[in-house]
Structure 1
Amino acid sequence: MCEEHELISTNKKPIKPRTESEQQKVLNRLKRIEGQVRGIQKMVEDDRYCIDILVQMSAINSALKNTGFQILEKHMHHCVSHAIQTGDGEESIDELMKVMQQFSK
C-alpha cells in the first residue's frame, strides 16, 4: 500500500493492496512495538536504570525502521514500478525521495 506520512499526506490508493497475510505481518510487528513502548513506560515509572531504558528504545527504533523498510520495499515494487510503467515515474520517485529523506532522519 502506498503509505501516508504526516508531512506528505497523499491519500492515494495502493496499486496492489497488501494480501491479508502481508497486512497481518505488519500489524503484528506494530502491535509488538506498541507492547515494547508500554514496557518502556513501565520502566520509567519503576525508575529503572537509564541504560536499560535506552537499550529498549534502540530496539524499538530498529523494529520501526525494519517495518518501514518492509513497507518501502512493497511500495517500490508495486506503486513506484507501476508509476514508471504508466509514465508517472518522476512524480512517484520525487514523492519517494521526500519520504526517504524523512525516514532517514
Structure 2
Amino acid sequence: MSHTIREKTKLINRTRRIRGQIEAVERMLEDEKSCAELLQVIAGVRGAINGLMSEIIEDHILLHVADADLAQNDRNEGAAELIDVMRAYLK
C-alpha cells in the first residue's frame, strides 16, 4: 500500500480514533451501560470504519483500477463514477 504513504499520518490518526471508540464500547459493556447508549457508540464506530475503508478504496481505485491508457478526462470520469457507487454502498 505504498500509495497511502502520502496520507499515512492522517490514516493512522483515524485508526487511533477508531481504537478509542472501540475501547469506549468495551468500557460501556464492562459498566453495563444501556443498549441504547451502546448502539449509538457502535453506530459511530461503524461510520468511522466505513469512512476509513472508503478512503482506502478511493485511493485504490484512482491508482490501481482506473485504466491508465484512457485519456485523463475519461479515466477521471470512470474513477469518479466508481467512487460515487462505492460511497453510496458504504453509507
Instruction: Name the SS of the counterpart of 1:41 in structure 2.
Output: helix
Unmatched 5+ residue regions in structure 2? 70-85
What SS does structure 2 have at the residue aligned with 1:30?
Answer: helix
Distance 2:59 2:41 in 1: 28
1:80, CA displacement in angstroms?
A: 1.0
Counterpart of 1:18 in structure 2 is 4
Give aligned-pair identity as a percent.
28
Instruction: Name stretches of at least 5 consecutive residues in structure 1 with no aligned partner.
Output: 2-13, 87-99
Residue 79 of structure 1 and its aligned partner are, at CA, apart by 1.1
**SS, match of residue 52 in structure 1:** helix
Residue 74, structure 1, aligned to residue 81, structure 2: no
Task: Tell me the TM-score normalized by structure 2.
Answer: 0.70
Q: Aligned-pair distance for 1:56? A: 0.2
User: What CA distance in whole angstroms lies between the structure 1 residues aligned with 2:4 and 2:15?
Assistant: 15
Residue-by-residue CA offset, 1:16-65 (whole Å, 9 max, x unaligned): x2234x11111111110011101110001001111000100000000000
- Counterpart in 2 of 1:64? 49
Deviations along 1:73-102, one digit per CA (max 9) or x if unpaired, are 101111112xx236xxxxxxxxxxxxx7xx
CA-based RMSD? 2.3
The structure with more helix, counted as a fraction of residues: 2
Take 1:60 and 1:74, find their aligned partners in 2: how far apart are those partners? 21
**Equivalent pairs, count:** 74
1:85 paired to 2:58: no
1:46 to 31, 39, 53: 31
Q: Which amino acid aligns with 2:68?
A: Q
Runs of 4 or more above 6 Å deviation: none
Residue identity matched to 1:80 = V
Normalised by the length of structure 1, the TM-score is 0.61
